[in-house]
Chain A
Amino acid sequence: MSYLKLILKNPFRNKTRGALAIVGIAIGIMVIVALGMVTGGLKQSTTSTLKAGAAEINVMQTGSGNFGSGRINETRVADIQSISGVKETAGLLKATNTSTSGSSVSTGSTGTSTGTGTTSAGSGGSGSFGGFSVTGMDPSKLNLAGIENVTGSLYSSTSENEVIIGKTASTDLNKSVGDTINLFGKDFTITGVYETGSFMTDGGVFMSLTTLQNLTSNNNTVSTIAVKINEDANTTEVSKSIETAYPNELSTTTAEAMAGRMNSALSTIDAASWAISLLAIIIGGVGVINTMIMSVFERTREIGVLKAVGWKERRILGMILGESVVLTIIAAVVGTIIAVVGVVTLLAFSFGGTIQPSFAPEIFLEAFVVAFAVGIIGGLYPAYRASRLSPTEALRYE
């Protein structure tokens, strides 16, 4: 039998105690992995949203509070185009469909939204975060909403019965190109499927602006205006120019500011998750120390025998440390499996699949590094104690 096999075998001499130690650490590892997967998923989505949002500035009605709930006269789309530094503008109308199969209707006035102004969420419905969002937009300007690639084809600007659907919504509703979807009581043919990487944008549909305006009785009105600026223009200056030109009417949000807000929020989540993880690690670590100390106590005479047959102190130290690490690495495997299954299941059922968990290798690496460290730190004192035992005293131990 090899030394390694002995180390693998020893932690399970007392199966209940070994299992309890594993459970303690596994909970900590599970927390680390689960929070890592969720926050990582949110970060990926945020990054995609910002990358996808080709528009650097979003214009909304002053006092509307959030994207999609305000009303702007459509003529402002052309007006803003003429402001210095502005390269391109596009009006977006957002609405929320409360059912994808029935005829119930709600307009964008009930929605809440974040992101670059490409989607909204309202009450009820399925297929998106809290509601099924529908956005009206000129198909030639879809790049301003971050939509670059569409599988299938785009709707035409005058089409009254065509939409393109986000990948997440497509999966959730089991709809693909050529299928029909009922929105606001009217059947639409899906002509294409798009993917931006933003969980909110990908959870809805886009259709002709005119068609959505007619359907929701919002003629000549848009919710937001997406603004792309010239390469040599300054985002802040153009934003100020827009607000100055239409005081008390239009407000702006830059993608940069939004990124800052999102990063700030994610940093808070990160800090919270680290605090929870640290607590879990400390509790688990104490569990490991307790388990290993008990194990050393119980095996005092046995350690005396090992010394009597010539084992060096470092071999005994290595054995106890190894056993401690074996416990925590098994706990890491168990905790990781539970976290992956739990997070995937939770996100699939709780948020309609709109938040994709992150499987970044660093999350799992971090969990295993933490487990290894807890194993070493937790096992250090018991191992040192075992290695320093006097052989005669150990052999006399009852």
Chain B
Amino acid sequence: MDNGKNIIEIRGLKKSYDDGTIKALNGLNLEVKEGEFVSIMGPSGSGKSTLLNMIGALDIADEGTIEVAGIDLMKTSQLNEFRSKEIGFVFQMHNLIPNLSVLENVEIPMYETDLSSKQMKDRAMELLKAVGLEDRADQIPTKLSGGQRQRVAIARALVNRPSIILADEPTGSLDSQTGDVILKLLRDLHEKENVTLVMITHEPYVGNMAERIVNVLDGKIQN
């Protein structure tokens, strides 16, 4: 792990909605080292999710600079390609496609790559094995428990070997026991795959599992 190099560099990031009425980010600065596990915490409406969306290039800032994995997100027009190669998302509600099998759900991010169907399948099976669901590959998500679905979502997030995993309340819809399993899995994969992990949570217990906690309030970093 190279702890000296920043994979995320944000300077003076601003984002507002409703013609400037709502200031979601208000000159936010943040640096995250490559391979780091960072928890972003803060009250509801503090700007956590907006920050995560900016890092994942799901939204564009109004002002400031944001460089992720060496790419200036304020300048590049290849945001889809950036997301496909560098980012893996894990959502609170897992967001799996209900009519596709577990295996097919994990394959979805690889459609924008040059991999053959067999290569896609092999890679998806590798990840399903890593999350302990290789025997559920042909089932549809509705047949799985909440924890199993989130494990599928984690496999999907990792399938393109991203530099960064962005997890938005990954245990928010799970009971504490299942949540622990998911957190342990995320932490293990973060270490094993040497992937940077940025996780939003509002639970101190969950946040404390990270190497560093970043508190956000009123669109700015507090610590």
Return chain A residues, CB-CB under 8 Å to B99. 9-10, 13
Among A2, A9, A309, the residue within 8 A (CB) of B117 is: A2
B171 at the interface (CB under 8 A from A): no
Q: Does A240 contact B (CB under 8 A)?
A: no
Q: Which of B27-35, B101-109, B176-184 contacts A (4 or more CB under 8 A)?
A: B101-109
A310 and B83: CB pair below 8 A? yes
The CA-CA distance from A390 to B109 in the complex, in Å, is 18
A311 to B113 alpha-carbon distance, docked (Å): 10
- A310's contact among B97, B103, B104, B109, by CB below 8 Å, is which? B109
Chain B nearest Cβ from A342, distance in angstroms: 34
Are the C-beta atoms of B58 and A307 separated by less than 8 Å?
yes
A391 cross-chain contacts in B, Cβ below 8 A: 58-59
Within 8 A of A (CB), among B54-106: 56, 58-59, 80-85, 87, 89, 91, 95, 97-100, 103-104
Closest residue of chain B to A316 (Cβ to Cβ) is B80
Total residues of chain B contacting the partner, CB 8 A? 29
Task: Write out the residue numbers on chain B whose beta carbons fall within 8 Å of the beta carbon of A311.
Answer: 80, 84, 111-112
Say yes or no: B80 contacts A312, CB within 8 Å: yes
Are B53 and A392 closer than 8 Å at their CB atoms? yes
| Interface bits A7-34 vs B (CB < 8 Å: 1, else 0) | 0011001000000000000000000000
Those of A275-331 within 8 Å (CB) of chain B? 301-302, 304-313, 315
Residues A395 and B59 in contact, CB atoms below 8 Å apart: no
Closest to A301 in B: B95
With a cutoff of 8 Å between Cβ atoms, the chain A residues found around residue B84 in the complex are 309-311
- The docked-state distance in angstroms from the alpha carbon of A305 to that of B152 is 14
Residue B160 interfacial (CB < 8 Å): yes
User: Hey, what's the 0/1 contact readout for A371-398 against B, CB within 8 Å counting as 1?
Assistant: 0000000000000000000111001000
B83: chain A residues within 8 A (beta carbon)? 307-310
B156 interface hit (Cβ, 8 Å): yes
Q: Are A395 and B58 in contact (CB under 8 A)?
A: yes
Report whether B111 and A3 are in contact in the complex, using a CB–CB cutoff of 8 Å: yes
Q: CB of A1 within 8 A of chain B?
A: yes
**Cβ contact within 8 Å between B95 and A302:** yes
Q: Is the Cβ of B104 less than 8 Å from the Cβ of A309? A: no
- Whether the Cβ atoms of A310 and B112 lie closer than 8 Å is yes
CB of A11, distance to nearest CB on chain B (Å):
10
Judge whether A310 and B160 touch: CB under 8 Å: yes
A392 to B112, CA, bound (A): 20
Choose among A9, A10, A315 the residue that contacts B112 (Cβ–Cβ < 8 A).
A315
**Do the beta carbons of B109 and A1 come within 8 Å of each other?**
no
Q: CA A391 – CA B83 in complex, angstroms?
A: 12
Q: Please give me the residue from chain A that is nearest to B103 by CB atom.
A: A1
A1-B100, A302-B95, A305-B97 known; A310+B81 contact, CB < 8 A: yes
Instruction: Give chain A's interface residues, CB within 8 Å of chain B.
Output: 1-3, 6, 9-10, 13, 301-302, 304-313, 315, 390-392, 395
Provide 8 A-B residue pairs closer than 8 Å at the C-beta atoms, listed in order of the A residue: A9-B99, A13-B99, A307-B58, A310-B80, A310-B109, A391-B59, A392-B58, A395-B91
- 12 A-B pairs besides A390-B59, A392-B53 with CB distance below 8 A are A9-B99, A302-B95, A305-B89, A305-B91, A305-B97, A307-B83, A309-B83, A310-B80, A310-B84, A310-B160, A315-B112, A391-B59
